[in-house]
Structure 1
Amino acid sequence: MIAQLDTKTVYSFMESVVSIEKYVQMAKEYGYSHLAIMDVDNLYGAYHFLEATRKHSIQPLIGLEMTLVKDEENLSLRFLALSTKGYQELMKLSTLKMTGRKNWSDFTSHLEDVAIIVPYFEGIEQLDLGHDYFIGVSLDTPQEVFTRPILPLYQVNSFEKEDIQVLQILSAVKDNVSLREVDLHSQQGIFLPASDLEARFKNRFPQALANLQGLIENVSYQIDPSLKLPRFNPERPAVEELRERAEQGLSDKGLTSAIYHERLNEELAVIHDMGFDDYFLVVWDLLRFGRSQGYYMGMGRGSAVGSLVAYSLDITGIDPVEKNLIFERFLNRERYTMPDIDIDIPDLYRPEFIRYVRDRYGSQHVAQIVTYSTFGAKQAIRDVFKRYGVPEYELTNITKKISFRDTLTTAYEKNLQFRQVINSKIEYQKAFEIARKIEGYPRQTSIHAAGVVMSDQDLTDYIPLKYGEDMLITQYDAHGVEANGLLKMDFLGLRNLTFVQKMKELLAESEGVHLKIEEIDLEDKETLALFAAGNTKGIFQFEQPGAIRLLKRVQPQVFEEVVATTSLNRPGASDYIDNFVARKHGKEKVTVLDPALEDILSSTYGIMLYQEQVMQVAQRFGGFSLGKADILRRAMGKKNAKEMHLMKEDFITGAMKLGHTEEKANQVFAVMEKFAGYGFNRSHAYAYSALAFQLAYFKTHYPAIFFQVMLNYSSSDYIVDALQMGFEVAPLAINSIPYHDKIAKKKIYLGLKAIKGMPRDLSYWIIENRPFSSIEYFVTRLPKNYKKLSLLTPLVELGLFDEFDKNRQKILVNLPNLFVFVEELGGLFADTNYSWTEADDFTEAEKFYKEQELIGVGISPHPLQTLAKQALYPTT
């Protein structure tokens, strides 16, 4: 028996070209029954390797390569897990190394069921590790009599001889050097067929093969996929605590009728039977913390908005009974999957929120989730061509021709200009072929934008970790984390929640109005009129031109139609916009396939717009439970033909039992199948439409508050919108301009921050050193490092010195001489000594376009709205 042990994969970043899937697939073809990976320090690829070997019926062997310090000398080592326990120990070893440990003594307590292999070096027999170890012999190792057991250790980092060029490029990228500086004889190990490798070692070290067989023939790893949820309160059963808090929540909301208690009991039973009591309590705790800090946490997201338990705990803000939202879309006994309650957080406060999670549940129980940045098309070109000495300006010219959607192959095939550039030089062609090979390889690690993992025990009992800036990071990606039974939660920083929170705070501060966001009337007629007018610049989900055009066509009169518009404004659903609009306005007859479905489809004019409607139709017409209907919905959405065929038979049988004809049942199923592919989650649409409505409410009733907040985030995007709503832009003046934009009495006072290219330090200096009595005085006081025409020209062109002289062209013409003049004075101010050169001023149009270039809108004194529109939509 032979096994390839010492293999570096692409997860030993830029040291190998061995991708895991290809490696395992080739191993099957090459006749291997056992196969290993030994990446440098990390287990990034370990779980993917386990999955790939399972698919190809190969026994995986998980290993590590590390260099540790013993007796003040660097020692190259290999570690191989021999059992599930050994695999767990390997995770701890990797975590130790990836969190900064390097001394051999730090690692010796985690070697149970781990084979230690030391690659041969002269004098190795005298090495004393305090533990048994194997000597790793390669095909180049001198033949001698060893007193310690030996193992075959042939290092692999490539598939074929030609890969040497790629390895050299990767080495140059890693060390940030040119190709000329790379060792042209870089060590390369080519993956060999099992029979070839076995024959080579049998000829030189037959005992190594015998030792290997005895070591690995019984190796196996058992990965436990069961859930490892953190405990909310170890002192009390979670089922009791969850029920108590949920019932109290209903009582606090005044929801005491039987329908609420029956549904709450049903949901609690499902949650408990599926083992998710602690999960709901943890989510409740996190939302409670956010609100205790004054964060606006929104109305919820996703299918969780359909849960009454979630609503009772204030995890969500929509009453699912009142709004007819379906719990089974979120969770049901017939589909055992982890409930997915993503948590939206004002983006400003996400770091503080994650720190709370770490501190509350333990720094060893919480980690952020790794992602892998790969060589994209542009990055691959840039990295490879740079190693060939291609200058930066040429690199920019080449990469500009690649669309962000393109791979290098599609760019070359479809883009004539790109192809011509690549073919223009032999060197470019060589570099391009290498770039194409490394495209898609992992280049470095990054952090998942939202994901955080939590567990009941130390995370290293289940997965390997590494250090982040202020908390641990997993070595497994999100898929590997969840496959190991760990709770992955997405904490999504949402800027629109920050907007709402800031608007609420500013309203209380400036007008003394303490608005309760959750109590905003979602049927407010004036806000609905704003949606119908398409005046939704700055409104979550509705500020893009397509959404604005759709709103103007739909003309929503009730909130439910805002929800529908959210759902229509998506690929796929857009095919039915014309029907929806025509039916809504009475220009097309509303048709429903069967009277039994009328109440389900009436709010969407006979169109199955939501996933929940597909489920309700399956229940009403085919006799399905809502749980089974959800499975059908998923099968339709994923176009799972086999599962759909089986469920179609059940649906038709159920429909006929309810008195429907087979023909009608087939018709209804066909319509369900058609709509399920694009149907939107109504619970999610409802919650996000509510957030959009809250922003629109501020824009409608408190426009000054709305624009004050929005302008501070992106001035140029919202100034024209404010002008169209009757606001005016005040002239800019050096002695009064604020740093941030401000609004008072329908006037917008743009701040220094709004000026493109304005250094923050110069802005602060202006504010701290004013007032200025003249331009000469300003220039005299100005620090030398700011006496630059490039810095002062925008201030002049925006009219900040108009209070001293309205002729902006004249000021600009004189600035260079004025700099010299004040320099000769040695910093002394003489108010009247400078002799100004006259010049014709800019025209009003020139001023307008300069202003628009610098701050996004013209503010010169002429009809602002008209000119703004002309600037945005020039006719010539």
Structure 2
Amino acid sequence: ELLGRGDTIGVFQLESTPMRALIRAMAPNSFDDVSALIALYRPGPMSVNMHYDYADRKNRRKPVEYFHPDAEAVLGDTYGLMIYQESVMRVSQKFAGYSMAEADNLRKACSKKIREMMEQERGKFEEGCETTGYGRALGKELFDVIEKFADYAFNKSHSYGYGLITYQTAYLKANYPVEYLSCLLTSVKSNLDKAGIYLADARASDIRVLVPDVNRSETDFAPDRVEQSAILFGLSAVRNVGEGLVQQLLDERAVNGPYESFYDFVERVPEQVLNKRLVESLIKGGGFDSLGHPRKGLLAVFEQIIDTTVTKRRERDQGVMSLFDDLGDGAPPVMDQRIAIPDVEFDKSLRLKFEKEMLGLYVSDHPLFGVEGVLRRRSDCSIGDLAEREDGGFVTVGGLITGLSRKYTKKGDPMAVFVLEDLQDSVEVTVFPRMMLEHGHKLADDAVVIIRARLDRRDDTPKLMAQEVSVVDVAELAANPPLRLHIPASALNEPRLDRLKAILSEFPGESPVFLDLGEGRVLRLNDQFNVNRDKAIGEIRVAFGHDAIAS
């Protein structure tokens, strides 16, 4: 099922977007299909469309054709296509009467691309076909195919060896997704591009990736023991946080239990852990959220708290007692010297900016959450769909600008390159000088944009050449609350339902529509019915009564 869906991000050899498109077309249901995928997804077979020929023949979208009826006996398992070196060996034995050793020599000539050796084999092959009764003409035609095949011959045992690892990783992802994705994220914790892909895949699989937590996280990414289908961000993956100091933090937690507050944390961990840059990184990354402290408030006073606590710890170690310390008789301190942590928090954009700075990724939230519907409506495809669109064609896609790099051509003209990402995929976008003059001022990291671009699919990885850029006003979208309607199902006969559709279509906008049918049934209408809330309310009240608008 996982392979059939093309849900193969993180699966060995099957991760790329074009490969996932091929998998969906092939719908593999056997180990032979997995091996064939690996053999076919290479420049040679792809240049002659053999990869999609295999998929279409397998799924009966095209007839299986053989160059001779007798070929079915040797090429039936690959739908008439020679996709392996071993296929050539079997054909040469069947049609040219080669011995196993002679067939292996032909295989070597193919695999090593030895043209002189191939020329020598041609005459021998054609003569062999004549001797076996298939005729020199078929021998010539067949060897022409084999000669082209020499450019992309692939060893079947090699493909099966890769295929076994592919199958094993697919099995782990299908049956132990949380554990497997935890390991994947750990393996790429220093590669933010890869980590971002796996994080998006986790979200698409309804697996939450949680911010680091000084009380629950481990050194590396790990399944959360408290929340099911969740992965905790590894503490060592936080910027400026080394594994050695993390281990000291974890050792203290293991011996004396969870940290009760930031004050408790500062009081208990070894002094080396109280490196201010490390603590600042943990605060910005959400490492102390579970202790109940707001990030902005804690960031404002953490240095003072550390300085005060470290001074007291050193005095205590030296036997110096402060007037404000616990007198040791069970009585509380004379005065609580703790510095108060202000109850203030960053707004969403700044909180996420700091979080990405320290974690390399948006984890607790994402700037695109809440605007996905707008991007879908204004685009004609998603980034993930680009692998299946026509090379050189024009597309309209939406997403978030990241990694913006402004450059200059040799002539001194401005241009830009950035990555456009949505919640699942990303693509590199180039803005050439002519487009920069008109649209360059709109480009900024973390801007949500809609781009019309020309698609370049000459390489395996699609790229976009921007033609137009329009900025999506996220603040304006936030000002479009949903429209909640209360209309009992019994009151929605066909004419009234048609009237509702007509009103919603008459006032298109950005507010999603929720329809309460009574008895606990609430429907969220398709994005095509999103409305201009203020304009639609009056018409709905006229048609369905004042109470149709839920408060």
**2:324 matched to 1:844?**
no
Shift of the 861–643 alpha-carbon distance from structure 1 to 2, 3 Å rule, reads closer
Q: Provide the C-alpha distance between the structure 1 equivalents of 2:286 and 2:118, rounded to a whole number of angstroms.
A: 68
- Check whether the contact 2:213–2:289 (CA below 8 A) recurs between aligned residues: yes
Change (3 A) 1:652 1:708: same
Unaligned stretches of 5+ in structure 2? 190-194, 317-324, 326-332, 373-420, 427-445, 450-551
**Structure 2 counterparts to residues 243-392 of structure 1, below 5 A:** none
- Asked if structure 1 preserves the Cα contact closer than 8 Å seen for 2:35 and 2:159, the reply is yes
1:861 Cα deviation after fit: 6.3
Match of 1:326 in 2: none
Count of aligned positions = 348
Alignment of 1:111-150 (within 5 A): none
Q: TM-score, normalised by structure 2?
A: 0.57
CA deviations over 1:666-688 (Å, ceiling 9, x no partner): 10111111113212111221232
Alignment of 1:634-645 (within 5 A): 634-645=108-119
Residue 760 (str. 1) matches residue 243 (str. 2): yes
Show the counterpart of 1:163: none
Instruction: Return the letter of the residue paired with 2:288.
Output: F
Q: Which AA in structure 1 matches 2:244?
A: D
Deviation at 1:864, TM superposition (A): 10
Tell me the amino acid that sits aligned with residue 28 of structure 2. P
Task: Please give the alpha-carbon distance, in whole angstroms, between the structure 2 residues aligned to 1:858 and 1:532.
Answer: 29
* Partner secondary structure for residue 159 of structure 2: helix
Q: Does structure 1 residue 813 correspond to structure 2 residue 296?
A: no
Indicate the residue corresponding to 2:289 in structure 1.
802
Task: Call closer, same or farther: CA 1:841–1:720 in 2, change over 3 Å.
Answer: same
1:617 aligns with 2:91: yes
Kindly indicate whether the alpha-carbon contact (under 8 Å) linking 1:614 and 1:676 is maintained by their aligned counterparts in 2.
Answer: no
Change in Cα spacing, 1:655 to 1:736, as seen in structure 2 (3 Å) is closer
- TM-superposed CA distance for 1:590, in Å, is 3.0
Structure showing greater relative contact order (alpha-carbon pairs closer than 8 Å, 6 or more residues apart): 1
Q: What amino acid does structure 2 have at the position aligned with 1:619? A: Q
Aligned residue identity for 1:809: K
Could you say if the C-alpha distance between residues 620 and 742 of structure 1 is closer, same or farther in structure 2, counting changes exceeding 3 Å? same
Relative distance call for 1:630 and 1:799 in structure 2 (3 A) is: same
Please give the secondary structure, in 2, of the residue aligned with 1:572. Answer: helix
- Equivalent residue for 1:593? 67
1:710 is matched with 184
Deviation at 1:648, TM superposition (A): 1.8
User: 2:276 aligned with 1:789, yes or no?
Assistant: yes
Separation (CA, whole Å) in 1 of partners of 2:357 and 2:42: 34
The 3 A distance-change label for structure 1 pair 595 and 555 is same
- Residues 1:556 and 2:28 are matched in the alignment: yes
Structure 2: distance between partners of 1:859 and 1:763: 20
Residue 737 (structure 1) aligned to one of 202, 209, 217? 217
Cα separation, 2, equivalents of 1:872 and 1:806: 33
Q: CA deviation at 1:625?
A: 0.7
C-alpha contact 2:267 2:309 (8 A) present in aligned 1: yes
Shift, 1:777, TM fit = 3.6
Counterparts of 2:369 and 2:32, CA distance in 1: 34
CA separation in 2, counterparts of 1:764 and 1:864? 35
Q: Secondary structure at the match of 1:765?
A: helix
Name 1:723's counterpart in structure 2.
Answer: 203
What is the CA–CA distance in structure 2 between the aligned matches of 1:707 and 1:620, rounded to whole Å? 47
Secondary structure of the residue aligned to 1:729 is strand
Provide the secondary structure at the position in 1 that maps to 2:289.
coil
2:277 is paired with a residue of what secondary structure? helix
CA RMSD of aligned residues (A): 3.1
2:234 maps to 751
Alignment of 1:56-67 (within 5 A): none
Cα distance change, pair 633–729 in 1 and its aligned pair in 2 (3 A)? closer
Matches within 5 A, 1:535-684: 535-575=7-47, 576-684=50-158
Deviation at 1:596, TM superposition (A): 1.8
Q: Contact between 2:293 and 2:341, CA under 8 Å: does it hold in 1?
A: no
Q: 1-side partners of 2:206 and 2:368: how far apart?
A: 10
Deviations 1:740-792 (A, max 9, x none): 33324322233323323311222122122344333234334455544433111
Does structure 2 retain, via aligned residues, the 8 Å contact 1:541–1:692?
Answer: yes
1:638 and 1:677 in contact (8 A); partners too: no
SS at match of 1:841: coil
Partner Cα separation in structure 2 for residue 788 and residue 598 of structure 1: 71
8 A contact 2:130–2:136 mirrored in 1: yes
Report the TM-score, using the length of structure 1 for normalisation: 0.37
1:712 Cα offset (Å): 4.1
SS at the partner of 1:704?
helix
Per-residue Cα deviation, 1:90-144 (whole angstroms, up to 9, x for no partner): xxxxxxxxxxxxxxxxxxxxxxxxxxxxxxxxxxxxxxxxxxxxxxxxxxxxxxx
CA distance in 1, matches of 2:424, 2:90: 51
Distance 1:602 1:854 in 2: 55
Q: Tell me, in whole angstroms, the C-alpha distance in 2 between the residues paired with 1:640 and 1:769.
A: 65
CA deviations over 1:339-362 (Å, ceiling 9, x no partner): xxxxxxxxxxxxxxxxxxxxxxxx
- Alpha-carbon distance in structure 2 between the residues aligned to 1:753 and 1:558: 40
| Matching residue of 2:519 | none
Deviation by residue 1:367-409 (Cα, 9 ceiling, x = unmatched): xxxxxxxxxxxxxxxxxxxxxxxxxxxxxxxxxxxxxxxxxxx
Distance 2:306 2:424 in 1: 34
**How big is the shift at 1:689?**
0.9
Matched residues in 2 for 1:850 and 1:574: separation?
Answer: 44
Distance of 1:626 and 1:728 partners within structure 2? 55
Amino acid at match of 2:362: G
1:774 aligns with 2:246: no
Paired AA for residue 53 in structure 2 = N
CA distance in 2, matches of 1:662, 1:872: 52
Q: Which amino acid aligns with 1:776?
A: Y
Relative distance call for 1:847 and 1:602 in structure 2 (3 A) is farther
Q: How does 1:223-234 map to 2 (within 5 A)?
A: none
Instruction: Give, in whole Å, the separation in 1 of the partners of 2:141 and 2:35.
Output: 27
Q: Structure 2 counterpart of 1:764, which letter?
A: Q
CA-CA distance at 1:618 after TM superposition? 0.8
The 1:578/1:545 distance shift into structure 2, 3 A limit, reads same
Change (3 A) 1:654 1:779: same
Q: Percent identity?
A: 28
SS across alignment from 2:162: helix
Q: Conserved in 1, the CA contact under 8 Å of 2:305 and 2:338?
A: yes
Tell me which structure has the larger Cα radius of gyration. 1
Deviation of 1:616 after TM superposition, in Å, equals 0.8
Tell me how far apart the structure 2 counterparts of residues 753 and 671 of structure 1 sit (CA, whole Å): 54
Superposed, 1:319-468 pairs within 5 Å as none
Q: Deviations over 1:136-170 (max 9, x none)?
A: xxxxxxxxxxxxxxxxxxxxxxxxxxxxxxxxxxx
C-alpha change, 1:783 and 1:553, in structure 2 (3 Å) is same
Structure 1: 5+ residue runs without aligned partners?
1-528
Distance 2:145 2:213 in 1: 64
Is the CA contact (8 Å cut-off) linking 2:305 and 2:339 kept in structure 1?
no
Aligned equivalents of 2:12, 2:176: Cα separation in 1: 17
- Report the AA paired with residue 848 of structure 1: L
